[in-house]
Amino acid sequence: MAETEKKEHGAGLYVGIWVALVALTTLTYGLGQVELGAWQLPIGLLIAAVKATLVVLFFMHLTEHAPSNRLVFATSIVFVGLLIALTLGDFGFRFKGMRPPGMTPLDLSPGAPAMHYTNPSDVGHGIQRR
């Protein structure tokens, strides 16, 4: 079974990876200071994913480990991905009901006008039919 440990990396590789990680961090910080609009988060996460992959593959020795270990880790990532995707499938496509009164901190804070719910037509204002 010794072949699972056969290809062992040298210390030089680790320092190289570290240099790459530092460079990527600097890059992502720099990009974070530029106005990228909607792309801000996706780009940040993409760079983070590259960095994380480097750490997992080399620092955590996943390249040297048995295939089952890779499978385990990949599975956990897939499951988190699906958890997020299906949750967003709800949040992204919901009926756009507005928030009812009395449910925001604005209503709960002392000194706010008394809560009244007398004219439903006000409340209904802004609800769109899909």
Partner 1 sequence: MPEARLAEHFATMDAQRRAGQLGMWVFLATEVLLFGGLFAGYAAFRFAYPADFLEGAHHMKVMIGTANTYVLITSSLFVVLATHSIKHDRSWTCAGFLLLAMLLGFVFLGLKFYEYYEHAQEGALPGVWYHVETVPRPGVIVFMTLYYLMTGLHAIHMTVAISVLGVVAYRAAGNAFDREYHAPVELGGMYWHLVDVIWIFLYPLFYLIVPK
Partner 2 sequence: MNDLLRRLLFLPEQGSTFAGRVDRLHYWIIGITFLVAAIIFFVGLTFVIRYRRRKAGEHTRKFEVKPGLEAIFVGVPLATFLLWFFIGFQDYVWVQTPPEDAMDVYVTAKQWMWKFAYPDGPSAVNTLRVPVGKPVRLLITSRDVIHSFFVPAFRMKQDAVPGRYSQIWFQAERAGTYEVLCAEYCGLQHSNMRAEVVALEPADFQAWVQEQRRGVATLQDAPPSVLPAGANLREVGERVAAEEGCLKCHSVDGTPHIGPTWLDLYGRTEKLLTGGTVVADEAYLTESMMDPQAKVVAGFNPVMPSYFGKLAPAQTAALIEFIKTLRTERLEKTPSQEPVYGPLRP
Partner 3 sequence: MAPSGPELAKPRDYLREETTLWSWLATKDHKRIGVLFLAAVIFFFFLGGLFALLLRVELLTPQRTIMSAGMYNRMFTLHGITMVWLFLIPAIPTTFGNFLLPIMLGAKDVAFPRLNLASFWIFVLGAAFLLWAMFTGGADTGWTFYTPYSLNTQSSVLPVLIGIFVVGFSSILTGLNFIVTVHTMRAPGITWMKMPIFVWTIYGTSIIQVLATPVLGLVLLLVAVERVGGLGIFDPARGGDPVLFQHLFWFYSHPAVYIMVLPAMGVISETVCAFSRKNLSSYRMVVYSTLGIAFVGFFTWGHHMFTAGQSTFDAGAFGVLSMLVAIFTAIKIFTWTSTLYQGSIVVTGPFVYLSGFLFFLMFGGMTGVALATTALDLHWHDTYFVVAHFHFIMVGASIMGFLGGLHYWFPKMFGRTYPEGIAIGTAVLIVFGFIATFLPQFLLGNMGMPRRYYDYPEHFQSLHVASTAGASLLGFGFLIIFGYLAWSLRYGPVATQNPWDSRGYEWMTETPPPKHNFHEVPDYTHPPHDYSAPDVPHIPEVEHA
**Residue 57 within binding range of partner 1, rule CB under 8 A:** no
Helices (H) and strands (E) in the chain, counts: 5, 0
Number of residues in contact with partner 2 under rule CB under 8 A? 23
Which of partner 3, partner 1, partner 2, none does residue 119 bind to, with CB < 5 to 8 Å depending on kind?
partner 2
Say whether residue 71 binds partner 2 (CB under 8 A).
no
d(CA 2, CA 33): 48
DSSP element (H, E) containing 109: none
Distance CA 13, CA 7 (A): 13
Q: Decide: is 117 part of the binding site for partner 2 (CB under 8 A).
A: yes
Alpha carbon distance 122, 101 (integer Å) = 10
109 binds, among partner 2, partner 1, partner 3, none (CB under 5 to 8 A by kind): partner 1
Contact residues: partner 3, CB under 8 A? 68, 72, 75-76, 79, 82-83, 86-87, 89-95, 97, 103-105, 108
CB of 79 to partner 1, least distance (A): 6
Q: 38 to each of 35, 42, 43, 107, 109, how far by Cα in Å?
A: 9, 8, 9, 32, 33
User: Which positions lie near partner 2, rule CB under 8 A?
Assistant: 95, 97-100, 102-103, 108, 110, 113-121, 123-124, 127, 129-130
